[in-house]
Amino acid sequence: MLNHYQSPWFKEALNAEGEISINQLTSKETSDVCIVGGGYTGLWTALKIKEKNPALKIIIIEKDLCGSGASGRNGGCMIPLSSKFPAMKTIVGTKDAIKMVKASEEALNKIKDFCELNNIDAQIRINGIVYAATNNKHRGGFDNLISELKENNINSWKKLSKEKVQNLTGSNRNIDGYFSPIGGSLQPALLVRGLKKIAEKKGITIFERSQMLSYKNKSKIIVKSTNGSVECKKLVVAINAWTPSFFNFLSRSVILVSSDMIISEPISSELEKLNLNNGLVVLDSNLFTHYYRSTIDGRIIFGKGGNTFSLNNKVIKSFDGPSSIENFLKKSLINFFPSLLNKKITQSWNGPSERTKTGFPFFGYHPKNKNIIYGFGYSGNGILPTFVGGEILSDMVLEEKNGWTKSNFCKGPIKLFPPEPFRWIGAVIIRNAVRRKEYAEQNELNPSWIDKQLAKLATSVGRVDRIKD
């Protein structure tokens, strides 16, 4: 069924489905709403529209299988947007930033409730998140963030003692950290394939292996695929990493970079000893964080963002293959957990994540046609925010005039990257400077002045708004 390299999650989810029948677009269809892209964003948007206005005819078209993009291959770490609060506050304003933090936090239980209600077993475990410091330079990195969150009555983080952080995260490498109970993990592909099934049950038509090749944007909107088309009143483009190639006006809104991951063989008894068998999400404080968690079947996954940047923001072939830094990831895993030295890594993989200059997503309307709507830019943190994205995009489709549609999140990209080739060259120079800086910090050495200055240019794209540099 799979025609290319895929994550273990996706293979597991498809195997669980057994025989899959693929509905391809081979005719001229009409609908009220056509959604392009069958990942979390497209599927949540469709489900929300259906919930708000069941009479609307909705069609989703997906170029491969639903979930074959980031939604079926991510780390499964559910992380709200509270760590981006300072940047959001400065860029979109305090009111909208608070709304987004709260909505991304509420998404955690809403996704869990949705799955329970609809019998989707996405292996959800809500046991919190730890942001840890692995060197003295990273200590105290959340202190200012917590003050700002407290000032606005939205703080869920608390500082941990060294003993507590090591006990919770299973690694002596973590010397300081912060815990929030609002987070957890899941099997990402079981969620996206479950959403697909429920969407179909609710009357949403889904065409897979049906790529949008072009669209006509005159008096009518017509989406063209190889053997068919969809005429619609509203078009939602939810194609994530593929967006900058498709919409030229968004070509500078993100930078595509890989997120790379490895997974171990089952090691339940070791995880038990490390106190890690509960799905807690652990991240370090690097700009492109290391992150890890256990799985329900007793494996550990370990990942890191920020390796391969693609020229012209193209979804390049290597994004659909094993990780080119598999050995580096194995070494890093052993650094955190020396006791896992002889354990097998069964697979590595990677995928494109679209980092915005602000580090958080945006939504908007096509500059020449308000009936064409888009949303992306989750910056490597999309499981909870795509649920919020579905809410926002559905309101935009339904022309609701409310707190979301009037917010600054719905005004398209607020900050842009430079054009090519400066974007790619700059990204690689900055990535290398960040690597040298973080390597020096990890070894308790002073990074060079120039590396610190270059790294500062990238601070905003990270998951956390750290005040310390």
Ligand X SMILES: Cc1cc2nc3c(=O)[nH]c(=O)nc-3n(C[C@H](O)[C@H](O)[C@H](O)COP(=O)(O)OP(=O)(O)OC[C@H]3O[C@@H](n4cnc5c(N)ncnc54)[C@H](O)[C@@H]3O)c2cc1C
The binding site for ligand X (CB under 6 A) comprises: 36-42, 61-64, 68-71, 73-77, 79, 211-212, 238-242, 259, 261, 350-353, 376, 378, 380-383, 386
User: 180 to each of 129, 130, 212, 236, 247, how far by Cα in Å?
Assistant: 5, 7, 41, 34, 37
Q: Which is nearer to ligand X, 242 or 302 (CB)?
A: 242
Q: Which is nearer to ligand X, 120 or 433 (CB)?
A: 120
What's the sign of the alpha-carbon dihedral 69, 71, 77, 83? positive
d(CA 196, CA 268): 31
Nearer of residues 314 and 436 to ligand X, judged by Cβ: 314
The stretches of 72-187 forming alpha helices (DSSP H) are 85-92, 94-117, 143-151, 162-169
Cβ 186 to ligand X, closest distance in Å?
9
Identity of the residue numbered 39: G
- Structure-derived torsion over alpha carbons of residues 169, 129, 376, 435, reported in degrees to the nearest 10: -40
143 or 297, CB closer to ligand X? 297
**Inter-axis angle of helices 188-201 and 94-117, to 10 degrees?**
80
CA distance linking residue 232 with residue 197, whole number of Å: 23
Least distance (Å) between residue 244 CB and ligand X: 11
Q: Which is nearer to ligand X, 306 or 352 (CB)?
A: 352
CB of 74 to ligand X, least distance (A): 3
Q: Least distance to ligand X from the beta carbon of 326, Å?
A: 13
Q: Which is nearer to ligand X, 96 or 260 (CB)?
A: 260
Nearer to ligand X, 86 or 377 (CB): 377
Least distance from ligand X to the Cβ atom of residue 2, Å:
13
Least CB distance from residue 357 to ligand X, whole Å? 16
**Alpha helices in 224-374, H assignment, sequence order:** 243-246, 268-273, 326-336
Tokens of 144: 């200012």
Smallest distance from ligand X to CB 95, Å: 24
Residues β-bridged to residue 355: 255
β strands within 156-253, DSSP E: 158-160, 176-180, 184-185, 205-207, 214-217, 221-224, 229-237
Residue 108 Cβ, how far from ligand X at the closest point, in Å? 11
In the block, tokens 């500062």 appear at 456
- Nearest-CB residue to ligand X? 382
170 backbone dihedrals φ, ψ, rounded to 5°? 75, 10
| For ligand X, the closer CB: 134 or 240 | 240
